Structure 1
Amino acid sequence: MKEHTPLFVVSHHWQEQADGIDLRFWLKGENHAEQWLVTAQESVCFVAQTQLPAWQRLWQQKRFAVRVGERVFTTLMGAQAVPVYSRSVRAQRRWVKEGRSQGMSVWEDDVMPSDRYLMERFLFGSLQFTDAKPQPAHSQPSLHCLSVDIETEWYTPGKLPALYSVALATPSEKQVLIVDPGGASRPPEDMPGLVVVDTVKACLQQTVAFIQQVNPDCIIGWNVIDFDLRILQQHCDREGVPFSIGRNRQSPVWRQRSDNQERYAIELEGRQVVDGPGAFRSAAWFFEDFSLETVAQSVLKRGKRIDHVDDRVAEIERLYRQNLTAFAQYNLEDAQLVLDLFDAAGLWHFLIERAHLTGLPMSRAGGSSAAFNTVYLPRLHRYGFIANHVGEQVLHDASPGGFVMDSAPGIYNNVLVLDFKSLYPSIIRTFLVDPLGLQLGLAGSEDESVEGFLGARFHREKHILPALIDQLWAARDQAKAQKNAPMSQAIKIIMNSFYGVLGSHLCRFFDPRLASSITMRGHQILQQTREFIEARGFAVIYGDTDSVFVHAADHHDPEQLGHELAGLLNRWWQQQVASLYRLESHLEIEFETLYSRFVMPTIRGTDKGSKKRYAGWKKTEAGHELVFKGLEAVRSDWTPLAKRFQISLYESFFTGVNFKPLIAQTVLQLKNGELDDQIIYRKSLRRRPEQYQKNIPPHVQAALIRRRLQPGWQGRTIEYVRTVEGWQPVPFVTAAPDYEHYIEKQLAPVAQALLHFLDLDFFALIDEQMSLF
């Protein structure tokens, strides 16, 4: 390996040998990836010191070869433990299972050797060699990527679908392999990269050959693990073709996910397999749904090559039978869309930066607990402590969520939003919330600790997490200064995930005293912030987790007031934290938004203010922006009619335009059939329609009708309309739309939420306006 050259860790693996465990790391330099081999390693876990004689009897009786370390560690529950080293992970798993069946305790046995090797050396994302020793580094690798998309007959669980084609696309090379046994519909030779083969076996062989030829660092796709690669693997098994798509011609290693028997994890030698939806979710992107069509239309403003037809599955089948060139173009475009999406959304930069921060591979979707383990465990070990195992903490006090104030419903001018910058990470930094600090704080004197909630106390000097947050905070400020948005986003997501990890039963660091000392402190901070503001004569009309909404009323300069209140609050919190806790405050509240006009609706049918639902006319540098939170315009379960009506209605109201004609005109257009393209409901089917027995909601009723009229239909999303004869599916709508339904259930609720405050009634207003036409 070249000295002092930063190398990105593409993948890492382990394999047992006669003399121990070999660790293989694939590292990407400037132009190519190479393997770094570390031989004769051991796997380590920890056993209870008091049970060591019993463990030694077990090892001797079963002839397990182990090595017991001399150093004594302490668990976060206070037990003493010693490290035990094994040259075989499989043997370690056997003796751990046997010991646990006898009631003996083991910790950290689930940390795999290659993960631990990197983690304990703080080799996150990249490394470099100095005097032949690996050292932490940071790099910006140029990763070579391959997008894979297959087309098959309609997938039915439990049945391997027939393979129609495989599309393979890199930024510079494209190939579409189509299986056409008959050969009658072979296209003209006018599409570069199109190859027609007679058998599935030939298609698979050429797919593997193409992947080996382009030699990607990453393979991507849309549901690429659980569908595309899994289906290809099954066809390879059936045809006797080695699915050798890894480096060194290695085949994938598959594991069924414990949380879902229909989902898999894949390990591929020297490559990462990154699934598109998981990558977008990890980067905190939100869409109405995570279908390729929806995400591509949102990000790229283009979608699949097949126009939106009622039954895309049937159209794909038709193209495959009748027009292979169009079929190949459709398949290739799906693969190209995923390539373009990763680039347009900056996902590669995000995933690389996340790897540098957490050590998580790019393929890992979510992984908050794993990220916390990776960054926290090596630091904990240096204090002489080890982590609990999942489920060991038996405290069950519930940790409350974020504080949401009761709202004051109404129409307001000049509403300021003051927002605490990363409130939960700030609380961790300020009040020293930390797993190790909790253990040491409870064991020490009160003078050495800071009081938390549910009986928690945190050590003032010895802790890990506050310093980690400090480092991440400084790194995010630097990323912002450098306009490195992916890095800033990665850090924000990681910092905000720490609270959730500490409050999750699935995390080895779970303790309700930790999570509650964050959320309950947040409640206290928000309540005292409200009291501070109201003592100065301004009403707080709403608050949610880390924000307060302040009515500036007729203040001559609301923006100036927002900045003044933020400054006063920051100084006040610094004084409070210093005087009450003898700590430095890292709480920082900012003036975030001015809504020149604002509507806080009531809960439908009551006079009580709603929560997490409002509309505002937000002041921006370019003018104003209409903002909806939780209302129909941003919800997927309302029709386009309701969404567009709400946008037009509130925009008219906020800009002072008479909205009464708009309401009447919309109703009139609806009744005249001019808005029939906007009255279609669209909903996903979470189960097969026939699995619904007792409660059959409207979308399922429509799906059952469609299944009866079109037996081959297997769609997962149903579009349907309310007609005078009940719910009917698109395109089998035979009756006239029930326009009264849409008036009462779609338009009236949207309008009345606003009209309620103006002492107007939707239906009376319609009658009044209709008389003017």
Structure 2
Amino acid sequence: MNVSAIWQNPNNKQFYYKERPFSKWIKLNKSLTFLFERHLKKEIVQLLRENNFKNSDIKNVEEDWKDIFNKPLVKVNFENNISYYRYNNFLKKLKEKGIGIYGRDIINIFPYDISERIEDKRIWFLDIEVEGDEDIAEDSVPSSILAKGMIISITYYDSYEKEYYSIIVSREKVDTFNKKIRFVDSEEELLKTFNNLLKRKVPDIITGWYSNGYDIPYIINRGKKYHIIISAIDGLKPYSSYKKQPSGYRFNNSIPGVNLLDYMELYKKYIFEKPPSYKLDEIARIHNIEGKSEYMGFLNYKKNFEKFVEYIFRDVEILVELEDKLNLLNLICGLQSVIRIPINMLLAPSISIEHYLQQFLLPEKKSFKENYNIYSSKNVDFEGAIVLQPPDKKYENVIVLDYASLYPNAIQTFNLSPETLRYDFNYNGKHVDIGLMIQDEGKDYIPLKYTLEIEGVLPSLIRYLLKERLKFKQLKKSTPPDNPEYIKYDIKQSNYKILLNSMYGVIGTERFPLHDKRVAASITGGARGALRYMNNKLNNHEFKDVDINGRKISFRTEVIYSDTDSSFNVIHCEEKLSKEDVVQIGRYIATYINDNIAKEFVVKYSNTEEIINRNSLKVEVDKIFKVVRFFGVKKRYFGYDFDKNIITHGVEIVRVDTPRKIKDILKDLFIKALDGVLKKEDLIRYYNVIKQTPLEEIAISKTVTKIDFDKYKTIPNHVRAIQLMREIYKFKYTLNDKLLYFHIKYNNRRNYRIVERIFNKKFKDVALVSACIEREHLPQFVKLVKANELEIDYYTLFDKQVLSTLKQFSEYREIIKEVKNEIEKMEGINNKSEQLKLF
């Protein structure tokens, strides 16, 4: 059977499925089950009787199961009428008695295939507007839980019907702009209409921007006011709860019959470039999508109703356009088709991998315990990756070789898995000894021997994932980009990449059932060994008379930096090398490593040459620099390739908190510094440019990690900057997004005592402090600047964000010093020691 969508009731683990996007939910026969060790059979039978389970409550018993260590297990399958509450209580009692529970994840794995096609899902992209909410929000409880405002509109796009809809509380009617609008007389009627649509159309997924924190709980909680049960399945009730955490609120919502996916959460998880703000307008700008209209939603609800209608559709349109560009829902639906668990579980890597591993083992009738607590010893050092200290120097013609999926391939090559480990000094079966590899680093030997006589569970799973990913990568490569199948293949290979990248992370997590500190240490040890082999092989290696683009070239490789899975090699050659030459040299040295790694490195730590056939370690050319500058600090470099494309890591132009305009300026200044043409005039010019730049573009991005400021042992300066604006100007903060931080000169002397108390400093002359606001405060903040209540401290901003950053180029420190002196004269800063700067 192949279904279009599934939903699982989190309260009783009951699965529902749909055969088509337009069909109703069908209830699947529930199958509650658990496994236990066979030698405990008598004890389990007695406990079942004591807890009033009868023979008629048990569908069947399977005695041919095993765990990954080959321990015999028994599987008990309950009848459909056994409640999850009763089942769960029984498992709790087993736990209290110290009885290990196996196969706990099986009940969350859907037993049939789920369509990966986004076209087979009915998805609602949703947004609500609320009147009278912001004035009554309380810090201690989220406004969506209080839900004291009135919902005046619910707008959504139906992906199956390809139509925009809105339900609006209003007796006034306007042009619908080719969208379908239903006008109602009251909020109660709006919620009833929405609920009826839920039951009639049964969307598989509802998504929105911050929808799990705002739209969904608001709808649920306003429904309660009118005794409206928001649900797509009759008889099941919704719920909305929250938990206050140091960094904000965590919401838990359920609308029966609907998978709830917050698009902002998807964006944070799968888009690795962090934006300066998670406001939808900013995300739209980053992806070249036109933002919302300038009109502020419900503020125009009564003043300009036509503009209000235009506004409410724009948020939903942006979400639809984002999905068209990013395919995040496509990605998550594809991932669900692979793992076959409820969509909300897919956002947690450890849960996804745990369930996928169990699904992988099901055909072999194997399972694993909820928590093995296999091994914990102070004798095993869990050391991370190799990161070498780079020089403070510029290089030309640098090739970066990178191990493809290093950790997964180390697991596969060395057969690393908890059940293949033979922690025994005397073990002599066919094996690989990672202990010897770690000993080569100057550490004490411990017997981290992995048998090659059985195939490990983790290597077996990784081999399958690598094979599937390669298959879809090749299909993608052979498919034209304008072919619809191209996106499908790209998403499929991304699904397997996500699983592969998650594997090592969960093995090193103590909550993961198969966590074993020794295995985690072996994975990182094997990866370090592979990188050390490549670095030793290439460092100061002379290559003589190599055929490069039709001529014989001799060159020397020197390893100048190394990080985790990458080796940075400068090519020393007496001849002038072109882009094509360096590219060809990169391919040559990658092949040189790949041809030798199995017979020189892998076999060195095994007592059998059979391991050569297991090797999947492979290097590829990752990057090629025409010029690159290291700054003597790990994980920090700046350079560009032969086409002048910037390649950088760790420097301020890629930092999330660096202001947008400053990034653009630094990019230009870094290139000038790298090329040796930076002048004093360039810096002075950019100082003046910054002074003319809109404030939002020079704001430093800040995040509050504790919403309860009393929890800070030492109050950060940006938190003091919030207290300043909150206490003096009564700014209200939600603290659910990144903040705008400014260095300021505070001019209103009447408030100096308050400012001195907040910043715990005395001011002799001018108060150089800081202000921190939310984006909604920006118009009010600009008014304060114009009224000379405060002014932007451009000197401190430029010094901190630009000049201090450029000091990394040690050769330009004298010029930077001259620029500072000149700007101080320009700004009339004569006695810097009397000024207080708070960074």
Q: 1:740 to 1:291 in 2, by over 3 A?
A: closer
Alignment partner of 1:336 is 2:317:
yes
Alignment partner of 1:593 is 2:593:
no
Q: Which residue of 1 aligns with 2:432?
A: 450
Q: Is the contact between residue 274 and residue 656 of structure 2 (CA under 8 Å) also seen in structure 1?
A: no
Q: Which residue of 2 aligns with 1:711?
A: 730
Aligned partner letter, 1:596: K
Q: Secondary structure at the match of 1:548?
A: strand
Q: Is the contact between residue 752 and residue 761 of structure 1 (CA under 8 Å) also seen in structure 2?
A: no
Alignment partner of 1:218 is 2:210:
no
Q: 1:175 to 1:398 in 2, by over 3 A?
A: farther
Aligned counterparts, 1:735-754, within 5 A:
735-754=790-809
Q: 1:217 to 1:629 in 2, by over 3 A?
A: same
- Shift of residue 530 of structure 1? 0.9
Q: Which residue of 2 aligns with 1:490?
A: 495
Aligned counterparts, 1:299-378, within 5 A:
299-306=287-294, 315-316=296-297, 318-378=299-359
Q: 1:167 to 1:686 in 2, by over 3 A?
A: farther
- Shift of residue 239 of structure 1? 0.8
**Deviations 1:525-545, CA, capped at 9 Å, x for gaps:** 112211111140422111111
Alignment partner of 1:643 is 2:663:
yes
Q: Which residue of 2 aligns with 1:310?
A: none
Q: Is the contact between residue 360 and residue 461 of structure 2 (CA under 8 Å) also seen in structure 1?
A: no
Aligned counterparts, 1:464-479, within 5 A:
464-479=457-472
Q: Which residue of 2 aligns with 1:566?
A: 590
Using the alignment, how far apart are the partners of 1:746 and 1:139 within structure 2?
47
- Shift of residue 279 of structure 1? 2.4
Query: Bigger CA drift: 655-664 or 512-521?
Result: 655-664
Q: Secondary structure at the match of 2:421?
A: helix
Using the alignment, how far apart are the partners of 2:824 and 2:573 within structure 1?
37
Q: Which residue of 2 aligns with 1:698?
A: 717
Q: Which residue of 2 aligns with 1:204?
A: 191
Q: 1:746 to 1:544 in 2, by over 3 A?
A: same
Aligned partner letter, 2:534: T
| Of 285, 291, 294, the match for 1:297 | 285
Aligned partner letter, 1:306: E
Q: 1:80 to 1:498 in 2, by over 3 A?
A: same
Q: Which residue of 1 aligns with 2:636?
A: 613
Q: Secondary structure at the match of 1:645?
A: helix
Q: Is the contact between residue 349 and residue 502 of structure 2 (CA under 8 Å) also seen in structure 1?
A: yes
**Deviations 1:289-341, CA, capped at 9 Å, x for gaps:** 4432332222243223237xxxxxxx445324533332332222112222221
Using the alignment, how far apart are the partners of 2:16 and 2:176 within structure 1?
44
Q: 1:404 to 1:565 in 2, by over 3 A?
A: same
- Shift of residue 149 of structure 1? 1.1
Alignment partner of 1:723 is 2:715:
no
Q: Which residue of 2 aligns with 1:174?
A: 164
Q: Which residue of 2 aligns with 1:400?
A: 383
Q: Is the contact between residue 664 and residue 770 of structure 1 (CA under 8 Å) also seen in structure 2?
A: no
Aligned partner letter, 2:373: E
Q: Is the contact between residue 4 and residue 19 of structure 2 (CA under 8 Å) also seen in structure 1?
A: yes
Q: Secondary structure at the match of 1:85?
A: strand
Q: Is the contact between residue 642 and residue 750 of structure 1 (CA under 8 Å) also seen in structure 2?
A: no
Aligned counterparts, 1:516-595, within 5 A:
516-536=521-541, 537-554=556-573, 556=577, 557-576=581-600, 577-578=602-603, 580-581=605-606, 582=609, 583=611, 584=613, 585-595=615-625
Q: Is the contact between residue 278 and residue 365 of structure 1 (CA under 8 Å) also seen in structure 2?
A: no
Q: Secondary structure at the match of 1:96?
A: helix
Q: Which residue of 1 aligns with 2:126?
A: 148
- Shift of residue 44 of structure 1? 1.7
Q: Secondary structure at the match of 1:236?
A: helix
Q: Is the contact between residue 46 and residue 83 of structure 1 (CA under 8 Å) also seen in structure 2?
A: yes
Q: Which residue of 2 aligns with 1:762?
A: 816
Aligned partner letter, 2:641: K
Using the alignment, how far apart are the partners of 1:336 and 1:673 within structure 2?
33
Using the alignment, how far apart are the partners of 1:489 and 1:463 within structure 2?
24
Q: CA RMSD in A?
A: 3.5
Alignment partner of 1:666 is 2:666:
no
Q: Which residue of 2 aligns with 1:462?
A: 455
Aligned counterparts, 1:54-69, within 5 A:
54-65=43-54, 67=58, 69=61
Aligned partner letter, 1:563: R
Query: Bigger CA drift: 542-551 or 252-261?
Result: 252-261
Q: Secondary structure at the match of 1:278?
A: helix
| Of 85, 88, 95, the match for 1:90 | 85
Query: Bigger CA drift: 143-152 or 692-701?
Result: 692-701
Q: Secondary structure at the match of 2:347?
A: coil
Using the alignment, how far apart are the partners of 2:25 and 2:771 within structure 1?
59
Using the alignment, how far apart are the partners of 2:356 and 2:741 within structure 1?
49
Query: Bigger CA drift: 484-493 or 46-55?
Result: 46-55
Q: Secondary structure at the match of 1:225?
A: coil
Q: Which residue of 1 aligns with 2:508?
A: 503
Q: Secondary structure at the match of 1:552?
A: strand
- Shift of residue 638 of structure 1? 2.6
**Deviations 1:514-564, CA, capped at 9 Å, x for gaps:** 222211111111122111111404221111111111112446333232222
Q: 1:769 to 1:290 in 2, by over 3 A?
A: closer
Aligned-pair identity in percent equals 19
- Shift of residue 760 of structure 1? 4.1
Using the alignment, how far apart are the partners of 1:177 and 1:9 within structure 2?
26
Q: Secondary structure at the match of 1:399?
A: coil
Q: 1:110 to 1:587 in 2, by over 3 A?
A: closer
Q: 1:328 to 1:65 in 2, by over 3 A?
A: farther
Aligned residue-pair number: 719
Using the alignment, how far apart are the partners of 1:333 and 1:326 within structure 2?
11
Using the alignment, how far apart are the partners of 1:436 and 1:193 within structure 2?
60
Q: Is the contact between residue 109 and residue 340 of structure 2 (CA under 8 Å) also seen in structure 1?
A: no
Query: Bigger CA drift: 691-700 or 54-63?
Result: 691-700
Q: Which residue of 2 aligns with 1:420?
A: 403
Unmatched 5+ stretches in structure 2: 436-445, 477-488, 542-555, 746-766, 773-780, 827-839
Q: Secondary structure at the match of 2:53?
A: coil
Using the alignment, how far apart are the partners of 1:522 and 1:450 within structure 2?
14
Using the alignment, how far apart are the partners of 1:736 and 1:222 within structure 2?
34
Q: Is the contact between residue 242 and residue 249 of structure 2 (CA under 8 Å) also seen in structure 1?
A: yes
Q: Which residue of 2 aligns with 1:236?
A: 223
Q: 1:233 to 1:173 in 2, by over 3 A?
A: same
Q: Which residue of 1 aligns with 2:546?
A: none
Q: 1:224 to 1:658 in 2, by over 3 A?
A: closer
Using the alignment, how far apart are the partners of 2:694 and 2:308 within structure 1?
34
Q: Which residue of 1 aligns with 2:748?
A: none
Aligned partner letter, 1:84: V
Alignment partner of 1:43 is 2:66:
no
| Of 650, 670, 678, the match for 1:630 | 650
- Shift of residue 224 of structure 1? 2.0
Using the alignment, how far apart are the partners of 2:534 and 2:475 within structure 1?
33
Unmatched 5+ stretches in structure 1: 127-137, 308-314, 602-608
- Shift of residue 420 of structure 1? 0.9
Aligned partner letter, 1:680: A
Aligned partner letter, 2:795: E
Using structure 1 for the length normalisation, give the TM-score.
Answer: 0.84
- Shift of residue 653 of structure 1? 3.5
Q: 1:640 to 1:282 in 2, by over 3 A?
A: closer
Q: Which residue of 1 aligns with 2:481?
A: none
Q: Is the contact between residue 275 and residue 363 of structure 1 (CA under 8 Å) also seen in structure 2?
A: no
Q: 1:464 to 1:719 in 2, by over 3 A?
A: closer
Q: Which residue of 1 aligns with 2:834?
A: none
Using the alignment, how far apart are the partners of 1:579 and 1:413 within structure 2?
35
Q: 1:295 to 1:739 in 2, by over 3 A?
A: closer
Q: Is the contact between residue 472 and residue 492 of structure 2 (CA under 8 Å) also seen in structure 1?
A: yes
